[in-house]
C-alpha cells in the first residue's frame, strides 16, 4: 500500500513516536473526496470512512476532518461520525461542542451580505450562495467563465472590503465570514483536545489548508495533495494517494 507514497513522507511518518498522542487532520473536498462539478455530489473515496474509524480506534490517536463546508453539510455528505471529529466552516463549527458565538452585530452584517450577494449573482446563472452560520460562500464553478470572473471581481471589490468581513478565496469560491476563523486555529484547538503536545499530521489540497500548514510545528507533518504553492513539507499527487497514508498511519500506531 505504501509503495506509491513518496519515500521521504513514509520515512517521516515512521519517525512519529507510537506512544505519543497523534492528531490526524484532513480536509474533505479534494483530499478525502474527489472534486466534483456539483458540490452536493461530493462523496468520500470508498473505504475511507472505515479507515478513519480504524485509525481513530488505535492507541493515543485522534482523527478530525476539517472542512470549509458547514458542519451539517459535511456530516451529511461524508457520512463520517464519532469517533471522527468533524469541524465545519474552516473551524467555526465543531462536533465536539465548541461553536463560536455570533454577536447581534455579526448577525446583522450576515443579513446585509446575504442581500447584496443575492443581487450580485442574480444575472450569473450557475453562481450559487452557500449560507453557513458565520459566513456566506459564493460558488462560481458552474457559471460561465466571464460570469465567474465578473461576480468574483465585484465581490472582492465590494462586500469583501466591508469592515468586519473576512474574505477567504478557494477553488472557484469566495467566502465572506463575519468572524475570523481559519483552519490554523482549528488545528490548535483540536491539538489541545487531543492531548498536550500531540503531534499533528495535516492533509489538504486547497488554499484554505495553507493556514493549517503554516500553524504546524517542526515535529508536525503537513501533506499537500496536488499542485500549487504550499507551506507543507510533503506532497502527494492525487486524492487516491491519501488512503495509503491513513493505512500506513494506522499500521504504525
Distance between start and end Cα atoms, the chain: 16
Binding span for Mg ion by CB under 5 A among 12-20, 79-87, 199-207, 216-224: 199-207
The catalytic position among 8, 11, 27, 147 is 27
73 an active-site residue? no
* Distance of closest approach, residue 17 Cβ to Mg ion, in angstroms: 29
Binding span for Mg ion by CB under 5 A among 8-16, 24-32, 80-88, 99-107: 24-32
> Are the C-beta atoms of 243 and 51 separated by less than 8 Å?
yes
* Distance of closest approach, residue 35 Cβ to Mg ion, in angstroms: 8
Query: Using CB under 5 A, which of 26, 29, 63, 74 touches Mg ion?
Result: 29
Binding span for Mg ion by CB under 5 A among 158-166, 191-199, 203-211, 226-234: 203-211
Is position 182 an interface residue for Mg ion (rule: CB under 5 A)?
Answer: no
Least Cα distance to 253 among 50, 26, 64, 20 occurs for 20
- Residues near Mg ion (CB under 5 A) are 27, 29-30, 205-206
Q: List the catalytic residues.
A: 27
Amino acid at each position: 500500500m505504501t509503495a506509491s507514497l513518496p519515500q521521504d513522507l513514509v520515512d517521516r511518518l515512521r519517525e512519529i513516536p507510537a506512544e505519543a498522542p497523534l492528531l490526524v487532520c484532513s480536509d474533505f473536498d479534494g483530499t478525502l473526496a474527489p472534486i466534483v462539478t456539483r458540490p452536493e455530489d461530493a462523496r468520500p473515496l470508498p473505504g475511507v470512512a472505515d479507515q478513519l474509524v480504524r485509525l481513530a480506534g488505535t492507541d493515543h490517536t485522534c482523527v478530525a476532518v476539517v472542512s470549509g463546508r458547514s458542519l451539517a453539510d459535511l456530516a451529511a455528505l461524508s457520512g463520517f461520525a464519532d469517533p471522527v471529529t468533524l469541524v465545519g466552516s474552516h473551524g467555526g463549527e465543531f462536533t465536539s461542542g465548541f461553536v463560536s458565538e455570533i454577536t447581534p452585530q455579526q448577525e446583522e452584517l450576515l443579513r446585509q451580505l446575504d442581500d447584496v450577494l443575492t443581487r450580485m449573482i442574480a444575472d450569473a446563472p450557475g453562481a450559487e450562495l452557500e449560507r453557513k452560520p458565520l459566513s456566506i460562500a459564493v460558488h462560481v464553478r458552474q457559471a460561465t467563465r466571464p460570469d465567474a470572473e465578473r461576480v468574483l471581481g465585484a465581490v472582492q471589490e465590494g462586500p469583501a472590503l466591508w469592515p468586519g468581513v473576512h474574505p477567504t478565496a478557494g477553488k472557484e469560491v469566495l467566502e465572506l465570514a463575519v468572524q475570523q476563523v481559519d483552519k490554523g486555529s482549528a488545528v490548535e484547538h483540536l491539538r489541545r483536545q487531543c492531548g498536550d503536545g500531540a503531534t499533528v499530521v495535516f492533509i489538504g489540497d486547497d488554499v484554505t489548508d495553507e493556514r493549517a500548514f503554516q500553524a504546524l510545528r517542526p515535529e508536525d507533518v503537513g501533506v499537500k495533495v496536488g499542485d500549487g504553492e504550499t507551506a507543507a513539507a510533503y506532497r502527494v499527487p492525487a486524492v487516491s494517494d491519501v488512503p495509503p497514508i491513513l493505512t500506513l498511519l494506522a499500521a504504525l500506531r
